[in-house]
Amino acid sequence: MSESQPHRARLERRMVGSTNRWRFPREPFSGDLLGLSQMCKALNVDFEEALKNPDRLCISQIQKILSGNLKKKTIRSGEADVILTCLGSKWELHQPQLFQSETLAKLYLMALAQGTTSPTKELERLLRGTQGTEPKLTAFSLGCCSPAFATALKNLYLGEVEMDMDDVLGVLASAHILQLGSLFQRCVAMMVNGLTPSTIKDFYLAGCKYKEEQLTTACEKWLEMNLVPLVGTQIHLRKIPQELLHKVLRSPRLFTFNEYHLLKTLLLWVFLQLNHRIQTVPVHETVLAFFNSFPKKYSFLDQDTGQSLVPLFLCLRLHGIIKGKTLEELRHVNFFPESWLLRVTANHYHALESGGDMAHVKDLTTQAMRFGLLFNQEYTTHSETIAIYGFFFEIKGIKHDTTSYSFYMQRVRHTDLGFPSSLCEHGPVSLRAERLVKYEIRAQTLVDGKWQEFRTNQITQKFGFVKPSCKSHALKVQTVGIPIYASFSFIFPIS
């Protein structure tokens, strides 16, 4: 609270050790060694021994006390309190800035203890603001680059030092080593807002290294939306760690245009792992030809090279790949075990024989057929038509104004004007008047670094050919975010 505010400071009791002493809470610590001694006593720490062994010292408490006392100390022109030596470079630092860093504060107190026979008297002189001979910090090596370290030290004096995205990883490492919490969190926020296909890998690994859940979660959510439509079209797909890819594939929020698009993205990822010299994204036919070149005795996933990748492909919903041409392509390329493809084919056969009922699918969240629309800024309407077991549906998004959208699906006839003939040219056409469908519509978009999510409930509805039964419930979305990732998940229950 600033002094210009009218709120009046109140006396406040504060427990220190075993006493119940009071002081003004906003007053800096002014040489109260009794209170300091009581604090160490309460922590069962011998103060002089703690100075010699700072790992036993509650350094953050000492840091807070010293920082408070040094706030009013002015920086004397040209006179540094400490010379920090690192990687052959030297930096002149002053006490008010030094004690912002827990690491530098610890090193300073170590030097204070080593440079005198009476550490307590030296600390008392420091706490009271008495000038004395200040020790140099001993040299120590640092594992991050000098420019990033210099930026972190500069932050001690400027507060909001400017950073480029190219430097943020180095500054993050320096902030971690120096234990500059505010700078570290500023780097994390910058990385969360700077996720791209080229940065996702390094930012995710940094989040794992420093156990920064906010960053790792942001990477996972970003990739859930962008794996298929963005990363899957670029050479940066190669860099995605298998662990991260597996997490994303298991997520119910994963966005894909359809199951075949997701399959192609995964095949491309495997191809890039095995062909390190390839520096441009190949066409899909090149990927298929590569896998087709392996020995035919066993499928790729049954061979030594592919066995470690099985958990990834178990996340696919292969029953969502319906076109006969695509299934024939998968058989020809010999990537999946024959038993997998036989099971998919058998399920399709039984569903067709039962009028579309999907007896093999029970859970909407983990087994539903999934389709998606990526609604970009230039769209006022956007739709796709899909065919499943002779039933035809249109998934559609409409922009009503600058921040208002709606998404829905509706059943259509195969004879409707403008209907793509390729969808029913070689496939079945159901004449059933009604089709029971269980579905959910979900939309997600990024606003100010945070994902907004909109969704319907899981709804079971009979779809006919005429309104209102031909149209699903509409998901209404109010957002300034763009693009919007709209996902449509559904199954045909036994009717």
- Residue from 172, 174, 178, 216 nearest 190 by CA: 172
| Residues 217-248 pLDDT 10s | 999 999 999 999 999 999 999 999 999 999 99
| Residues 115-170 pLDDT 10s | 555 555 655 555 555 444 444 444 344 444 457 888 888 888 887 788 889 999 99
Least confident of 125-134, 301-310, 311-320, 382-391: 125-134
Domain ranges of the chain: 82-181, 256-351, 369-491
Residues 331 and 341: beta-carbon distance below 8 Å: yes
Least confident of 2-11, 188-197, 234-243, 289-298: 2-11
Tell me how many degrees the CA angle 354-356-362 measures, rounded to the nearest 5: 95
> What is the reported pLDDT for 199?
97
> What is the reported pLDDT for 26?
37
Q: Does domain 369-491 have CATH number 3.30.70?
A: no
HEC profile for 461-493? Answer: EEECCCCCCCECCCEEEECCCCCEEEEEEEECC
> What is the reported pLDDT for 161?
80
448 CB-near residues (< 8 Å, 6+ apart): none
> Which top CATH class is 82-181?
alpha beta
pLDDT at 25 over 60: no
> What is the reported pLDDT for 486?
98
HEC profile for the chain? Answer: CCCCCCCCCCCEECCECCECCEECCCCCCCCCHHHHHHHHHHCCCCHHHHHHCHHHCCHHHHHHHHHHHHCCCCCCCCCCCEEEEECCEEEEECHHHHCCCHHHHHHHHHHHHHCCCCHHHHHHHHHHCCCCCCCCCCCCCCCCCHHHHHHHHHHHHHCCCCCCCCCHHHHHHHHHHHCCHHHHHHHHHHHHCCCCCCCHHHHHHHHHHCCCHHHHHHHHHHHHHHCCCCHHHCHHHHHCCHHHHHHHHHCCCCCCCCHHHHHHHHHHHHHHHHCCCCCCCCCHHHHHHHHHCCCCCCCHHHCHHHHCCHHHHCCCCHHHCCCHHHHHHHHHHCCCCHHHHHHHHHHHHHHHHCCCCCCCCCCHHHHCEEEEEEECCCCCEEEEEEEECCEEEEEEEEEEECCEEEEEEEEECCCCCCCCCHHHHCCCCCCCCCEEEEEEEEEEEEECCEEEEEECCCEEEEECCCCCCCECCCEEEECCCCCEEEEEEEECCCC
- The identity of residue 213, as a single letter, is E
- Strand 484-491 versus strand 369-375 pairing type: antiparallel
How many CB atoms within 10 Å of residue 470?
A: 16
| Residues 30-66 pLDDT 10s | 334 454 455 455 445 565 655 555 454 555 555 555 5
| Residues 160-204 pLDDT 10s | 788 889 999 999 998 998 888 889 999 999 999 999 999 999 999
pLDDT exceeding 90 applies to what percent of the chain?
57
Tokens at 372, concatenated: 């998606």
> What is the reported pLDDT for 231?
97
Distance between CA atoms of residues 30 and 272, nearest Å: 63
- Greater confidence (31 vs 485) lies with 485
Q: Is the pTM of this model over 0.85?
A: no
| Residues 63-120 pLDDT 10s | 555 555 555 555 554 566 677 776 667 777 777 777 788 788 777 777 766 655 555 5
- Greater confidence (124 vs 290) lies with 290
Distance between CA atoms of residues 327 and 344, nearest Å: 9
Distance of CA 336 to the CA centre of its chain: 31
Average pLDDT for 460-467: 94
> What is the reported pLDDT for 355?
92
pLDDT exceeding 70 applies to what percent of the chain?
73
> What is the reported pLDDT for 491?
97
| Residues 360-372 pLDDT 10s | 999 999 999 999 9
> What is the reported pLDDT for 87?
62
> What is the reported pLDDT for 13?
37
Beta bridge partners of 443: 454, 486
The mean predicted confidence, pLDDT, of the chain is 82
